[in-house]
Amino acid sequence: MPDYQWKLTIVERNLLLSNWVKLIPEAQEQMLWEADSLIENVPLLDRHRLLISLETLQEHTESNLQQQIQQILSHRLNTNIRESLELSLQKANLLFI
């Protein structure tokens, strides 16, 4: 089991809407911070699940946390798009070699 897996499990569980609404605002903020740091270090599939969870929660949070979620999403989605494009270009270049 990878080192990050235990933290990913806890964060994903807390990002479920049914659990999210039970967290105090400080714990919600901590989960956002943890999710943001995890997104940098997990495989693509796990990263996508976290981003989808955050997107789902956006409508169910206080306005200051909505802004924080939006910042995470916009930064991470741009990074994911860039990585996907770079990977596609690398594959295309390999085809022409």
pLDDT in tens, 2-46: 788 999 999 999 999 999 999 999 999 999 999 999 998 898 889
| Distance of alpha carbon 54 from alpha carbon 96, whole angstroms | 39
Three-class DSSP category at 62: coil
Average pLDDT over residues 44-62: 89
pLDDT of residue 69 exceeding 60, the answer is yes
Residue whose C-alpha is closest to residue 39's, from 84, 65, 90, 76: 76
- Round to whole Å and give the CA distance between 13 and 25: 16
Residue 23 to residues 8, 17, 71, Cα–Cα distance (Å): 17, 10, 21
Q: Is residue 87 within 8 Å of 48, Cβ to Cβ?
A: no
Mean pLDDT of 76-82: 66
Q: How many CB atoms lie within 10 A of CB 8?
A: 20
Query: What is this structure's pTM?
Result: 0.75
Structure tokens at 2: 């990878």
- Asked if residue 97 has pLDDT above 60, the reply is no
Chain mean pLDDT for the chain: 85
